[in-house]
Amino acid sequence: MNTEESKKLFKESGNCFPGGVNSPVRAFGSVGGTPVFIKKAEGSHIFDEDGNEYIDYVNSWGPCILGHAYKPVVEAVREACLSGLSYGAPTRRELELGKLITECIPSMEMMRMVSSGTEAVMSAIRAARGFTGRDKIIKFKGCYHGHSDGLLVKAGSGALTGSAPDSAGVPASYTKHTLLAGYNQEDTVEELFFQYPGEIAAVVVEPVAANMGLVAPKPGFLEFLRDITTRYGALLIFDEVITGFRMALGGAQEYYKVKPDLTTLGKIAGGGMPMGVYGGRKEIMEVVSPLGKVYQAGTLSGNPIATAAGIATVKALMERPDLYSSLEKKADTLVQTLKEVLPKAQVNQAGSLFSVFFAEHPVVDYESALKSDTRMYAKYFHYLLEHGIYTAPSQFEILFLSAAHTQEDLDETKRIMKEAAVNL
Ligand code: PMP
């Protein structure tokens, strides 16, 4: 496969952007080699600057659930653009999207729109602190909630494969209120509440951990979090930036039937445009300015183009109730193949989300995820890439399916997955 143009562009980008990229995982740091530069995407396929075509399982890290350049979304964006790109004033579209979100995720009674998942979680935590009058939060090792200072502690995703999991440039004092628990390890949460009763504002969790590879909540874990937060007067925040509109129309909270106090969204909620949302119980959200004393603002928040893409995406999802079972079936067939061809690897799945770990023992938390053989993953990844299958360039990310993946795509992917296993 010729990737000369990508190599040239990457070299030049190295002078312009740190590591040649605008988000670390894109640099292929943990798998080596040169990232391919994407020129365009359509349906389930992406095309690079050298004209190579790939079946895409990165899916812009989740937003494009309907497939790339899905016509009704593109049309909605085109139409919105003609009326101006941003006003910095309230619009009818924000209200329309907000109402659709509440319809799909009833626990989000009141919400605020922002421009990224990072902002959504950062702001939800500020609201939780403002509402409870408490400072401490519990986060889980290996869960990623964006790059705000207080949350860059044992964060997953790109931060997991970097040389240091905790970022330089974050003063220790900024993370002193961030308490760490183990995902799927109830006793670690209990200990923290025992140690700091009355001081914990919120527990923030990815209801399905998808930034240390895919780690599903063990049965009862989310119910346990609901129960313990209620008992101690803390809030439960589900970071559904990945799982929102992906596990089900109502997100992981619908899938697992556990209702959080606050929810954060991103990715699909903006249909591929920059968008984040945080929201929940009305009495909590009423602490946010200008109504309450928790300040939070944004020049481009509720942007007309992003809300147009979000509305078109959410409406399309609401019109296709069978979509989620169909995505899950697609995931099932790929998971089945992976289990067959990589009998020694661990394949984790929750709904349509899945990932393969080159690890000997079941991966159920951060510690077991870290035992994976990242070199083996790199080899497997590069075989797939060179044969037209674009997956995440990191052991600790997951695969995303879209409505656009066809049986032909899946058959070809399975064929290459088998070949890759033989060539490991
Ligand atoms: N929360 C979760 C669960 C995420 O996966 C991500 C990003 N992948 C974020 C928050 C941060 O979102 P963003 O990159 O839009 O800031």
Gap from CA of 286 to ligand 1 centroid (Å): 24
Gap from CA of 102 to ligand 1 centroid (Å): 21
Residue of minimum CA distance from atom 7 in ligand 1: 146
Residue-wise pLDDT tens digits, 135-180: 999 999 999 999 999 999 887 665 554 333 478 999 888 889 999 9
Q: Are strands 200-205 and 136-140 parallel, antiparallel or unpaired?
A: parallel
Task: Say if ligand 1 is within 6 A of residue 43 CB.
Answer: no
- The structure's pTM equals 0.97
| Active-site residue, 187 included | no
**Cβ atoms < 10 Å from Cβ of 194:** 9
Ranges of the chain whose pLDDT falls below 50: 161-165
Task: Say if ligand 1 is within 6 A of residue 36 CB.
Answer: no
Task: Say if ligand 1 is within 6 A of residue 238 CB.
Answer: no
Q: What one-letter code names the amino acid at 25?
A: V
Q: State both tokens at 346.
A: 């661990």
CATH superfamily to which 4-69+323-423 belongs? Aspartate Aminotransferase, domain 1 (3.90.1150.10)
- For the chain, what percent of residues have pLDDT higher than 90? 94
CA 398, CA 264: separation in Å to the nearest integer? 19
Task: Say if ligand 1 is within 6 A of residue 352 CB.
Answer: no
Q: Which atom of ligand 1 is nearest to the CA of 23?
A: 14
Burial (CB count <10 Å: 0-12, 13-18, 19+), residue 114: buried
Residue-wise pLDDT tens digits, 280-327: 999 999 999 999 999 999 999 999 999 999 999 999 999 998 999 999
* Interface predicted TM-score (ipTM) of this complex, two decimals: 0.99
DSSP characters for 251-285?
HHHHHTT---SEEEE-GGGGBTBS-EEEEE-HHHH
CA 316 to chain centre: 20
pLDDT of residue 172: 84
| Active-site residue, 267 included | yes
Task: Say if ligand 1 is within 6 A of residue 117 CB.
Answer: yes
Residue-wise pLDDT tens digits, 81-108: 999 999 999 999 999 999 999 999 999 9
Average pLDDT, the chain: 96
Q: Which atom of ligand 1 is nearest to the CA of 206?
A: 3
Pocket test residue of 22, 25, 116, 118 for ligand 1, highest count of atoms within 8 A of CB: 118
DSSP class of 207: S
Whether the CB-CB separation of 144 and 156 falls below 8 Å is answered with: yes
CA diameter of the chain? 61
- Cα dihedral 13/14/18/23 (nearest 10): 50
Whether the CB-CB separation of 183 and 369 falls below 8 Å is answered with: no
**What kind of architecture, by CATH, is found in domain 71-319?**
3-Layer(aba) Sandwich (3.40)
Given 54, 144, 255, 278, which residue is catalytic? 144
CA 107, CA 419: separation in Å to the nearest integer? 45
Nearest Cα neighbor of 329 from 312, 354, 304 is 354
Containing 239, the helix (H) or strand (E) segment is strand 235-239
pLDDT of residue 157: 61
CA 275, CA 245: separation in Å to the nearest integer? 14
Gap from CA of 123 to ligand 1 centroid (Å): 13
pLDDT of residue 161: 45
Q: Which atom of ligand 1 is nearest to the CA of 146?
A: 11
pLDDT of residue 163: 33
Task: Say if ligand 1 is within 6 A of residue 261 CB.
Answer: no
Residue of minimum CA distance from atom 1 in ligand 1: 145
Burial (CB count <10 Å: 0-12, 13-18, 19+), residue 72: middle
Given 136, 154, 267, 330, which residue is catalytic? 267
Burial (CB count <10 Å: 0-12, 13-18, 19+), residue 386: middle
Given 48, 239, 261, 409, which residue is catalytic? 239
Task: Say if ligand 1 is within 6 A of residue 118 CB.
Answer: yes
Q: Are strands 200-205 and 38-42 parallel, antiparallel or unpaired?
A: unpaired
Q: Are strands 53-56 and 38-42 parallel, antiparallel or unpaired?
A: unpaired
DSSP-based three-state secondary structure for 29: coil
Q: Please provide residue 139's backbone torsions phi and psi, each rounded to the nearest 5 degrees.
A: -125, 165
- Annotated domain spans of the chain: 4-69+323-423, 71-319
Residue of minimum CA distance from atom 10 in ligand 1: 145
CA 183, CA 393: separation in Å to the nearest integer? 23
Q: What angle do CA 178, 179, 182 make, to 5 degrees?
A: 130
Q: Is the dihedral of CA 354, 360, 362, 367 positive or negative?
A: negative
- Give the residues across from 35 on adjacent strands: none
Burial (CB count <10 Å: 0-12, 13-18, 19+), residue 280: buried
Q: Which atom of ligand 1 is nearest to the CA of 117?
A: 12
CA 388, CA 52: separation in Å to the nearest integer? 8
